[in-house]
């Protein structure tokens, strides 16, 4: 506002907000911080009260539109979270959102610069100017910087999703569940093609997100195929040619000898493994995910490590002695106890099976999988997103369509409320190592036990049934969440003398274990390491 002072011929402006010349130094300082605050909470309002009103009105319109959009996003997040995720993971939609965020970041930064000009720093006291400039820079980083970071995250995610996931429509659950096969691929220099050393089916309840992991031994034999599988033409009696036809050899066999059976597939070997898993478990497997085990360590490092309660000593396997099936003494040992493993350690923890059975390794792989699911939280994703995304592009290959991401992300969030259930198609859930269940499997028993496991887990997750009390597991058996198949009562065994207590013998240390490995005492090592599958999430 303007008024004419007595005895003066000119106008004197007395509105201290728009005309700070007439204000006191203290009022000018308050005005400066007020205008910055207005630009923070209501972009454009500082220009309305103290600057270019036309610019202010345009900025306010944009501000109100953004608020309306945020309210709409919140409503959609509460009512249809899958739709929201699908929008943000769609390539074109995420590009538009990214461009919008970048434009808003630039616009907000320009408003702060314009506000700084309106403040007119030369009118401020010298000791106040640095504080005002510092506050403006800080607010620009918090506002424009956050928007720019969000745009960058969207750009990284767009590239990652486009490189990892397939095109095509999303698929529906089967019998209320999504079933996909996770393969840990090992395509080392000493191997012909990729040979999966880790095979698990993740069965996810479409309503609750409850996950059941069904692990398949690498040496499983006689895998069956349904009549509508292309492999029925080649193996009508199942994949049953003896030791050469263990399950993990199916991938390279089909890739190299029968790729024409899956003419429309980019990965015939993976399709064959899906058909085999379907026949073994009696489930329809809908998609596959292949994780390169050599690159697995980079993914763990990108997550900042993985925390696991190690059950027992685990050797880090050394190279193979030329001309033999034996290995040099271990390169190191993973000690018992709770520890946060880096990628190298976690890789060997999941891969090692020296001195023990493949079922010990399966149990440890299940622990690593559970730990990754438990520890890959939003905070980890936000702070390590680029590293995780870059590692993911290098180590993950899948036929899951990108349009499926909405439902899968929603299920991943729900799964945090439930403990992952697990079952191994072999010891300890099916017989013992001496029973050779993996060599002579009972498929009717597998199918019935799998359905029972899924039904029990779904009921427990939905709160409609109580979990049964766990049955005792035989001494020496690997830890499991599912009891072994009950057997008929046997005659009481004669009481044997108890084994000598450990304190009377040498202390189990890395040096002692290494000494046993150097002298080739594999029997003692097998006994001492028999508990290295009894692990849990740290």
State the DSSP H helix or E strand holding residue 395, giving kind and residue range, or none if neither.
helix 385-395
Q: Which residue has the tokens 């000598």?
A: 500
SS3 22: helix
What span, in angstroms and rounded, lies between the C-alpha atoms of 361 and 318?
A: 16
Residue 24 half-sphere exposure toward CB, CA atoms < 13 A: 3
Has residue 147 got a pLDDT over 80?
yes
In this prediction, residues 469-479 reach a mean pLDDT of 42
pLDDT at 85: 85
Whether residue 301 contacts residue 342, with contact meaning beta carbons closer than 8 Å, is answered with yes
What span, in angstroms and rounded, lies between the C-alpha atoms of 53 and 63?
A: 15
Has residue 102 got a pLDDT over 80?
yes
* Residue of 355, 296, 338 lying closest to 536 (CA atoms): 338
pLDDT at 186: 63
Has residue 433 got a pLDDT over 70?
no
Rounded to whole angstroms, what are the CA distances from 279 to 197, 205, 214, 430, 486?
A: 19, 20, 13, 17, 24
Give the percent of the chain with pLDDT over 70. Answer: 86
Whether residue 255 contacts residue 193, with contact meaning beta carbons closer than 8 Å, is answered with yes
pLDDT at 464: 59
pLDDT at 13: 59
Has residue 338 got a pLDDT over 60?
yes
pLDDT at 381: 65
Considering just the CA atoms, what is the radius of gyration of the chain in Å? Answer: 32
pLDDT at 492: 38
Q: What angle do CA 368, 215, 437 make, to 5 degrees?
A: 135
What span, in angstroms and rounded, lies between the C-alpha atoms of 517 and 499?
A: 22
Q: In the chain, what is the straight-line distance between the N-terminal and C-terminal CA atoms, in Å?
A: 68
Average pLDDT, the chain: 85
pLDDT, tens only, 393-416: 778 889 999 888 888 888 888 888
Beta bridge partners of 262: none
Q: Which residues of 229-265 are buried (b: 16+ CB within 10 A; e: fewer)?
A: bbbbeebeebbeeeeebbbbbbbbbbbeebeebbeee
pLDDT, tens only, 350-392: 889 899 988 888 889 888 888 887 777 666 666 677 777 777 7
Q: Which residues of 290-325 are buried (b: 16+ CB within 10 A; e: fewer)?
A: bbbbebbbbbbbbbebbebebbbbbbbbeeeeeeee
Q: Which two three-digit tokens encode residue 353?
A: 């099976």
Rounded to whole angstroms, what are the CA distances from 518 to 368, 513, 514, 525?
A: 29, 9, 6, 11
pLDDT, tens only, 455-466: 999 998 887 554
- Lowest-pLDDT choice from 78-92, 177-191, 365-379, 493-507: 493-507
Q: Which residues of 144-165 are buried (b: 16+ CB within 10 A; e: fewer)?
A: beebbebbebbbbbbebbeebb
Of residues 7 and 390, more confidently modeled: 390
- For residue 417, how many other CB atoms are within 10 A of its CB? 10
Q: Which two three-digit tokens encode residue 458?
A: 């779904």
What span, in angstroms and rounded, lies between the C-alpha atoms of 126 and 122?
A: 8
Of residues 165 and 46, more confidently modeled: 46
Which of 154-158, 194-198, 433-437, 469-473 tops mean pLDDT? 154-158
Whether residue 353 contacts residue 360, with contact meaning beta carbons closer than 8 Å, is answered with yes
Of residues 30 and 366, more confidently modeled: 30
Q: What angle do CA 18, 24, 27 make, to 5 degrees?
A: 65
Phi, psi of 159 (to 5 degrees): -65, -40
* Residue of 398, 399, 423, 12 lying closest to 200 (CA atoms): 423
Of residues 257 and 374, more confidently modeled: 257
Give the percent of the chain with pLDDT over 90. Answer: 56
In this prediction, residues 490-494 reach a mean pLDDT of 37
pLDDT, tens only, 231-245: 999 999 999 988 889
Has residue 160 got a pLDDT over 90?
no
State the DSSP H helix or E strand holding residue 13, giving kind and residue range, or none if neither.
strand 12-13
What span, in angstroms and rounded, lies between the C-alpha atoms of 452 and 464?
A: 15
């Amino acid at each position: 506002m303007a008024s004419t002072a007595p005895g003066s011929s000119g106008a004197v402006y007395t509105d201290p907000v728009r005309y700070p010349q007439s204000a006191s130094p203290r009022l000018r300082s308050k005005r400066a911080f007020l205008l910055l605050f207005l630009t923070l909470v209501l972009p454009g309002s500082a220009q309305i009260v103290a600057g270019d009103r036309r610019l202010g009105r345009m900025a306010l319109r944009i501000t109100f539109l953004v608020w309306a959009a945020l309210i709409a996003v919140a409503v959609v997040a509460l009512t249809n979270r899958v739709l929201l995720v699908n929008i943000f993971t769609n390539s074109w939609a995420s590009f538009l959102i990214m461009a919008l965020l970048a434009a808003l970041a630039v616009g907000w930064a320009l408003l702060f610069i314009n506000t700084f000009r309106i403040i007119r720093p030369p009118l401020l006291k010298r000791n106040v100017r640095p504080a005002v400039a510092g506050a403006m820079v800080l607010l620009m980083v918090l506002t424009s910087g956050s928007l720019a970071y969000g745009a960058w995250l969207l750009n990284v995610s767009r590239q990652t999703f486009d490189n990892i996931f397939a095109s095509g429509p999303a698929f529906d659950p089967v019998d209320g569940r999504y079933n996909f096969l996770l393969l840990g691929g090992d395509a080392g220099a000493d191997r012909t093609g990729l040979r999966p050393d880790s095979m698990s089916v993740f069965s996810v309840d479409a309503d609750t997100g409850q996950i059941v992991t069904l692990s398949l031994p690498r040496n499983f034999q006689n895998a069956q195929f349904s009549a509508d599988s292309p492999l029925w033409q080649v193996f009508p009696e199942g994949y049953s040619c003896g030791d050469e036809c263990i399950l993990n050899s199916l991938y390279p066999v089909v890739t190299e000898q029968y790729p024409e059976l899956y003419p429309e597939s980019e990965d015939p070997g993976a399709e064959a493994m899906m058909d085999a898993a379907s026949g073994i478990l009696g489930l329809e497997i809908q998609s596959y995910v292949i994780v390169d085990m050599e690159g697995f360590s980079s993914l763990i490092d990108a997550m900042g490590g993985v925390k696991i309660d190690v059950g027992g000593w685990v050797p880090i396997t050394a190279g193979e002695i030329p001309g033999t099936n034996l290995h040099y003494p271990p390169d190191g040992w993973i000690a018992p106890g709770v520890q946060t493993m880096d990628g190298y350690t976690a890789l060997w923890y999941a891969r090692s099976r020296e001195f023990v059975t493949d079922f010990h390794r399966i149990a440890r792989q299940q622990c690593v999988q559970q730990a990754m699911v438990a520890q890959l939280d939003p905070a980890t994703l936000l702070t390590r997103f680029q590293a995780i995304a870059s590692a993911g592009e290098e180590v993950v290959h899948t036929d899951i369509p990108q349009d499926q991401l909405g439902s899968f992300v929603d299920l991943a969030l729900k799964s945090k409320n439930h403990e992952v259930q697990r079952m191994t198609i072999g010891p300890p859930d099916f017989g013992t190592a001496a029973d050779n269940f993996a060599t002579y499997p009972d498929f009717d028993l597998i199918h019935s036990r799998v359905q029972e496991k899924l039904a029990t887990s779904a009921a427990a997750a939905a709160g409609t049934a109580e979990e049964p009390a766990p049955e005792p597991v035989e001494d020496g058996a690997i830890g499991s969440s599912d009891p072994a198949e009950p057997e008929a009562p046997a005659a009481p065994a004669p009481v044997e003398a108890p084994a000598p207590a450990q304190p009377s013998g040498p202390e189990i240390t890395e040096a002692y274990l290494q000494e046993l490995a150097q002298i080739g005492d594999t029997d003692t090592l097998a006994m001492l390491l028999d508990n290295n599958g009894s692990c849990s999430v740290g």
